[in-house]
A and B are shown apart, each in its own frame.
Chain A
Amino acid sequence: MQEQQQQKLIHTFSALADIGQEVAHKNNFQEMIQTSLHLLLGSLAIMRGGVARYSKFGHELNFLAVRGLGDDFPLSASLEMSDEREFLNTGMSDIELSQAKMLAFFQRYQKVLDRKRIEMIMPLIVRDQLVGIVFLGEKATGEPFTKEDKAVIQAMARHIGVGIHQRNLMAELNRRAEENRQLYEGMRMTYKDTVRAFATAIDCKDKYTEGHSVRVGRYSEIIAEELEWKEEEIEGVAVAGYLHDVGKLTVEKTIINAPYRINAKESKELNKHPGVGYEILLPIQHPYADVPLAAKYHHERLDGRGYPDGLKDNEIPYIAKIVSLADSFDAMTTDRPYKRRRPFNEVIEDMHRNAGTQFAPELVRAFCSGILKEVTGENKSRRFRRLLGPEYMEAEGLEMSLKDALNGMNATKPLTLIASG
């Protein structure tokens, strides 16, 4: 008799150990629940049973695993708020069916539970939340559940409850992560739209250079793409391009729109716009660093002859060098009140000639390479064609000019990535 008792204990304890392992290490939730039900039923030789998960939002019990309950057993059951309260009041202890007739849930499902000879249920409660219910039939011995049996069931059910709770937490975590991702995406789009709206507002002030900021944003983006920067860095450069002239909002419209070459006084006024732009952009928490610096230094030159500070080469922020090239390219390729746009070949030659003095050579190289890819058809995106017009792109000898420019230039230094903050 003692030997039998010992054997039973070993059998039960090994089931308990197995269920702990199962819950802690199984990645497949469905399989974990099925195995746990096997272990629970097998530990005490319970003829039938099921494990249901409770969905708090749908007030629904959904069976995750059933054994011996037949095909006609309902795999989901609704639970009233009052049922949930009653189960929570009961706590994680067994409810024998004979004692449960008072509960509304049993009154609703009594027929099916009787027919399936369910004798006991055990609410699964973790951290004061009902996470599921275990339904159990009779023991193979036909004897009633003993106090010890109930303790074993409770211990094993606790493991199953924790397994379900963990799963719920993971699902909630994933849901929130997805919600955050969508929120972030939404904010990013709003930011981009706002930046574009600003660019359009800036351009509205200058009727002769309509679309200038938007184009500088696009050209800056293209240069960064050619440099194979990361997506967020490319976005950052584009934003810097869109906003580089934001300081012009404070410059007199008559100066900006002057249909003649402006005088020294007017020029001095106009040249304040990089500094003003910097002041406007500095307090804004941009998702990308260096956007204000691009506004401030996009008129600097490598040889130190630019403004506002006459910075030289390495003193100029890299992002400003990109925007500077994009800005000059747009100035040369669009009509101005006092001069027509220059032929494409000339623009390329100009960029080539000024590489090392005005522009960073590796940026001119990257830009020319981007144009060449579209001219030769290697890049089918038609990004330049859309910005410059198809006829302009068909300039005679353009491909040769681009190849000459590329052959005549060597990157003078390694590429430096801007920091994104």
Chain B
Amino acid sequence: MNTSIEIPIRDEGDTATIYAGDYLNKLSGEKIERECRKRIEGGCKTLVVNFRETEIVNSIGVSILLGVIDAASQSDTSVIFSEVSKDTSQLFEMLGLTKHVVLQ
């Protein structure tokens, strides 16, 4: 399901960078979560979620990201959210996501 959605991912050693796209919703979010879990299970030590093109993160997006954080916490994988816009970064901070990830 949702195989038509392409999620850009860059793997470099034990670091994987996943690009969240312009709108993190259920369709793209579940794909991102699957890809992240795959990397975590594959021994990835640092997971970078890049929000360069992301304009909106809705509640579904937050739930997806919590799933990523949860999976990472069980495997000692650190999660970095990079290039987060000011609004999204405020949202993450307010909701407590920044307690579990590093913002870059």
Q: Which residues of A contact B90 (CB under 8 A)?
A: 3-4, 7
CB pair B26–A42 under 8 Å, yes or no, is no
Indicate which residue in A7, A14, A39, A143 contacts B63 across the interface (CB closer than 8 Å).
A39
Interface string of B85-98 (1 = CB under 8 A from A): 00100110011110
Whether A38 lies near B26 (C-beta < 8 A) is yes
A42 to B96, CA, bound (A): 11
Query: Is A43 in contact with chain B by the CB < 8 A criterion?
Result: yes
Write out, one digit per residue, whether chain A residues 1-25 have a CB within 8 A of any chain B CB (1) or not (0).
Answer: 0011001100100110010000000
Contact of A14 among B58, B64, B94, B96 (CB under 8 A): B58
Q: Could you tell me if B63 and A141 are in contact, using CB atoms closer than 8 angstroms?
A: no
Interface size of A by Cβ–Cβ distance < 8 Å?
28
Does residue B52 face the partner (Cβ distance < 8 Å to A)? no
Which of these, B58, B67, B91, B95, contacts A67 with CB under 8 Å? B67
Interface residue A139 (Cβ < 8 Å from any Cβ of B): yes
Q: Which of B63, B66, B87, B96 contacts A142 (CB 8 A)?
A: B96
Give the complex CA separation of A35 and B61 in angstroms: 11
List of B residues within 8 angstroms of A103 by Cβ: none
For B42-84 the 0/1 string (1 means CB < 8 A from A) is: 0000000000000000111111101101100000000000000
Is A140 within 8 A of B97, CB to CB?
A: yes
The verdict on A67 contacting B63 (CB below 8 Å), with A7-B90, A8-B94, A48-B70 known, is yes
Provide the residues of chain A in CB contact with B59, threshold 8 Å: 11, 14-15, 18, 38-43
B97 surroundings in chain A (CB, below 8 A): 45, 140
A11, A38, A143: which contacts B64 (Cβ < 8 A)?
Answer: A38
* B95 contact from A3, A39, A45, A48, Cβ within 8 A: A45
- Asked if B38 is an interface residue, CB under 8 A from chain A, the answer is no
Q: How far is the CA of A8 from the CA of B69 in the complex (A)?
A: 21
Report whether B94 and A4 are in contact in the complex, using a CB–CB cutoff of 8 Å.
yes
Q: How far is the CA of A315 from the CA of B17 in the complex (A)?
A: 88
Within the complex, the shortest CB–CB distance from A257 to chain B, in Å, comes to 76
Assess the B66–A39 pair: CB atoms within 8 A: no
Which residues does chain B contribute within 8 Å of A35, judged by CB atoms?
Answer: 26, 60
B87 to A41, Cβ gap below 8 A?
A: no
Interface of B is mostly: helix
A322 to chain B, nearest CB (A): 57
Residues of A within 8 A of B94 (CB): 4, 7-8
Find out whether the CB atom of B95 lies under 8 angstroms from the CB atom of A140.
Answer: yes
- Give A353-377 as 1s and 0s: 1 = Cβ < 8 Å from B's Cβ atoms: 0000000000000000000000000
Cα of A201 to Cα of B95 in the assembled complex, Å: 83
Q: A64 on the interface (CB 8 Å rule)?
A: no
A224 located at the interface, meaning its Cβ lies under 8 Å from any Cβ of chain B in the complex: no
Q: Are B58 and A45 in contact (CB under 8 A)?
A: no
Residues of B within 8 A of A67 (CB): 63, 66-67
State in angstroms the CA–CA spacing of A142 and B99 once bound together: 9
Q: Which of A3, A8, A18, A40 contacts B58, CB < 8 Å?
A: A18
Per-position 1/0 for A43-68, Cβ under 8 A of B: 11111100000000000000000011
The answer, yes or no, to whether B100 is at the interface (CB within 8 Å) is yes
Known contacts being A7-B87, A47-B70, is A42 close to B99, with CB within 8 Å? Answer: no
A sample of 19 inter-chain contacts (CB < 8 A) reads A3-B90, A7-B94, A15-B59, A18-B60, A35-B60, A40-B59, A41-B59, A43-B59, A43-B62, A45-B96, A45-B97, A47-B69, A47-B70, A67-B66, A68-B67, A68-B70, A139-B96, A140-B69, A140-B95
**Interface contacts beyond A45-B96, A142-B96: sample of 17 additional A-B pairs, CB < 8 Å, sorted by A:** A3-B90, A7-B90, A8-B94, A8-B95, A15-B59, A18-B58, A37-B63, A41-B63, A42-B62, A45-B62, A45-B95, A45-B97, A48-B70, A139-B96, A140-B100, A141-B95, A143-B96
